[in-house]
Amino acid sequence: MQDKELHDLLNAYNHKLEEARLLNLQSWVLNLQNYTYQQKQKANIKLSKLSLQKKVLVILGILYGLALLFLAVNSITYQKVFFCMCTAAIGTITLYAVAVYIQQLYWIQKFNNADNIVEAQEKLVKLQDSTIAVTRILFLQTPFYCLFFVSPAMIMASPLAFFSITLPIALVFAFASWWLYRNIDIKNAGKKWFRILFGSSEWKNLIQSQRYLDEIEEFKKDIVDR
């Protein structure tokens, strides 16, 4: 009889332990779901601001890029060869950036509709990589702004000024553009020049959104470690 009672007590104790475990698990899942929802909502708010910025840039970029290409096509003369080449290059790079921004807007929309955190994180990583890549490309426009006003007649009239001032300045900007193209990389995100370069609200909204999702993983670890 005593053995049976002891056995019943052990079964009852194990049953209560199992119930407690299930309740703790349910509580953990509920807390995680609530925290995940809150963090994703915060990220959505940041990305909504980013989306608005991208839409404005798309509109302005289309107008600016097409205007430059229009000027390039309708100004083709020997004396305006530098102007045509520079405006065409700047316009083409601008429209390329517009295409990238449109793709980024699509990723932001996909982020808002993501069913799980992993999918949302993948979209943010794509946005980050795309933002860095398009910034590198945009800096390639810089040297063209130094030469668009030059003409063959100007060079013939003042060759010393062109070769001693205008051309060296353009080469300096070309080197700076090349250097930035090579070095703008996420691995340099901790460097001061990178933080200054990416100090815009656009980049900050993107990074803050990523932090919100990263905090979900930290929240999971904190619960498991308890």
The ranges assigned to domains in the chain are 2-221
What's the pLDDT at 43? 81
Q: What is the 3-state secondary structure (H, E, C) of 1-25?
A: CHHHHHHHHHHHHHHHHHHHHHHHH
Closest CA to 58 of 115, 104, 29, 98: 98
* Per-residue pLDDT in tens (0 to 9) along the chain, 226 residues: 455 555 555 666 555 665 556 666 566 667 667 777 777 888 888 888 888 989 999 999 999 999 999 999 998 899 999 999 999 999 999 999 999 999 999 988 887 766 677 777 788 888 888 999 999 999 999 999 999 899 999 999 999 999 999 999 999 999 999 999 999 988 888 888 988 888 877 888 888 888 887 777 776 666 555 5
Which residues, in sequence order, are CB contacts of 149 under 8 Å at separation 6+? 82, 83
Place of tokens 């996420």: 186
pTM: 0.79
The total number of residues shown for the chain amounts to 226
- Rounded to an integer, what distance in angstroms lies between the CA atom of residue 43 and that of residue 126? 15
Please enumerate in sequence order all residues whose Cβ is within 8 A of that of 154, keeping only pairs 6 or more positions apart, or say none.
162
